[in-house]
Amino acid sequence: MHGEEQKWVDEAIRTNWVSTVGANINAIEEQIAEYVGCKYAVALSAGTAALHLATKLAGEKLYGQAKPNAGTLQSHKVFCSDVTFDASINPVAYEDGEAVFIDTEYDTWNMCPEALGKAFEMYPDVKLVIVAHLYGTPGKMQQIKEICDKHGALIVEDAAESLGAKYKLNGKWVETGTLGNFNAISFNGNKIITGSSGGMFLTNSKEDAEKVRKWSTQSREAAPWYQHEEIGYNYRMSNIVAGIVRGQLPYLDEHIAQKKAIYERYAKGLADLPVKMNPWDRENSQPNFWLSCLIIDKEAMAPQVRGEQNYLYKHESGKSSPQEILEAMAAINAEGRPIWKPMHMQPIYRTNAFITKEGNGRGKSNAYIAGTGIDVGADIFQRGLCLPSDNKMTAEQQDKIIEGIHKCFL
């Protein structure tokens, strides 16, 4: 927080505009649309709400309006990023669709275009792809968009973690949040800028913006009374949350610079260890560096086993494991986390199909077997971890973390 946020929150309270209409909402919609380079932004209660309505809208455009009490996807398969938070994927279930998980690639830790191509060979009727940009790093959108165009598929872009990141599409730099047919960003409490909560649907279509805005206000019709002719949701952003976002937005570029400096300090400080930082395509992308992560080299991995909620690890000289490092950081009151557990490994989605670049399709996930090189997402989950990345962290605090990581490899 910088102080500007308080000004707009106080104005909302002083003027009694504290609900889901007000000057802050109007202003932040215009400002975000201008920043990312789209025509319309619809302020919603969460990034998840934006993803849900984006997915619902895609289903309606592809398959028509749903039957009563049915979702718009109605048992249709949807290709989805595998290494992501489940908020990217759950809207498919909300809309009665079936997620098919596409394996990750090592270059950016995002959806693998080769695996996506194999998936279309196996399921040629699929017409919707949901792509997330992991930890603020854009995926290979040029290839993904070309594959989707070839198969007549639409894209829902989950840019919740990547606001302010840029990607070179057809030789031109564009912001994430504009790369799909339907796009979503988040202002959750942990994002690059925050409203404590909140999100936005981004589009160049006035019709789509109006549809999402209507759905987000319980699908009220233009009648003197409450008239409802389709299912709606209480998904509109409050004017107070919008005030916080309005105060944060001027600092977005500053936050990105701070996050980049954190990433670069880690990269320099850990350069002598058998680890690598989370990668990005330096020619075609500019991440927002939301989270700094590392992955341990295969030959430097100490034994580690994970169950559903518990784990075991063993220290070996010159080696370490994510759980050992996470415990070492916790001991100095620094919070790290495992990499997102792949969706195809999650109990609620283990019966869903999972497609690798080799074209392997599985109903249930097998545990990662070192050296196979097949399940990339499971490998990154096994060997990787998210490092403390708070932009308020001092260089001295970060040095203590780097020192603690070094001790794990002694």
Check residue 372 and give its pLDDT: 44
> Given this model, what pLDDT does residue 359 score?
78
258 and 149 in a single domain? The answer is: no
Read off the pLDDT of residues 330-347 as tens digits, 9 standing for 90 and up. 999 999 999 999 999 999
Q: Which of 233, 251, 269 is the last residue of a domain?
A: 251
Residue 353 within any structural domain of the chain = no
User: What mean pLDDT do residues 20-40 have?
Assistant: 97
In the predicted model, is pLDDT for residue 147 greater than 80? Answer: yes
Give pLDDT, residue 368.
Answer: 39
Burial (CB count within 10 angstroms: exposed 0-12, middle 13-18, buried 19+), residue 323: middle
Residue 355 lies in a domain: no
Question: What average pLDDT does this structure show over 259-265?
Answer: 98
> Is residue 22 pLDDT above 60, yes or no?
yes
Q: What is the b/e burial string over 337-359, where b = at least 16 CB atoms within 10 angstroms of the residue's CB?
A: ebbbbbbbbbeebeebbbbbbee
What pLDDT sits at residue 322? 98
Whether 225 and 331 map to the same domain: the answer is no
Residue of 77, 127, 191, 357 marked active site:
191
Q: Name the domain boundary from 251, 272, 298.
A: 251
| pLDDT of res. 65 | 84
pLDDT digit string, tens, across residues 358-400:
877 654 344 333 334 479 999 999 999 999 999 999 999 999 9
pLDDT of residue 369: 35
**Within a domain: 366:** no
Q: Are residues 212 and 103 in the same domain?
A: yes
Domain boundaries, position 397: 252-341+373-408
Note whether 214 and 284 are same-domain residues.
Answer: no
CATH number, domain of 265, equals 3.90.1150.10
**pTM (2 d.p.):** 0.95
| pLDDT tens, residue by residue, 283-330 | 999 999 999 999 999 999 999 999 999 999 999 999 999 999 999 999
Residue 350 in domain: no
Q: How confident is the model at residue 66 (pLDDT cuts 50, 70, 90)?
A: confident
φ, ψ of residue 299 to 5 degrees: the values are -70, -10
Lowest-pLDDT range, 55-69, 153-167, 366-380? 366-380
Domain final residue, candidates 251, 278, 305 = 251
In-domain check, residue 182: yes
Q: How many domains does the chain have?
A: 2
Mark whether 191 is an active-site residue.
yes
Looking at the structure, do residues 194 and 155 belong to the same domain, yes or no? yes
pLDDT band, very low/low/confident/very high, at 235 (cuts 50, 70, 90): very high
67 confidence band (pLDDT: 50, 70, 90): confident
Residue 139 is predicted with a pLDDT of: 98
- For tokens 């009727």, the residue is 125
Examine the domain organization and report whether 232 and 294 are in the same domain. Answer: no
Q: Considering only CA atoms, which of 164, 139, 158, 135 is closest in space to residue 255?
A: 164
Note whether 301 and 275 are within 8 A (CB): no
Cα dist from 215 to 68, 154, 158, 229, 235, whole Å: 16, 20, 19, 11, 8
Do 63 and 210 share a domain, yes or no?
A: yes
Mean pLDDT to the nearest integer, 205-223: 96
What pLDDT, on the 0 to 100 scale, is given for residue 361? 61
Token couple for 254: 């500053």
Residue 362 has a pLDDT of: 59
* Amino acid occupying residue 25: I
16 vs 361, more confident: 16
- Judged against a pLDDT cut of 80, whether residue 102 lies above it is answered with yes
Mean pLDDT, residues 220-241 taken together: 95
Asked if residue 137 is part of any domain, the answer here is yes
Please check whether residues 21 and 154 belong to one and the same domain: yes
Clarify whether residues 209 and 60 are in a common domain.
yes
Q: What is the chain's mean pLDDT, rounded?
A: 95
Percentage of the chain modeled with pLDDT above 70: 97
pLDDT in tens, 120-137: 999 999 999 999 999 999
Shared domain for 199 and 106, answered yes or no, is yes
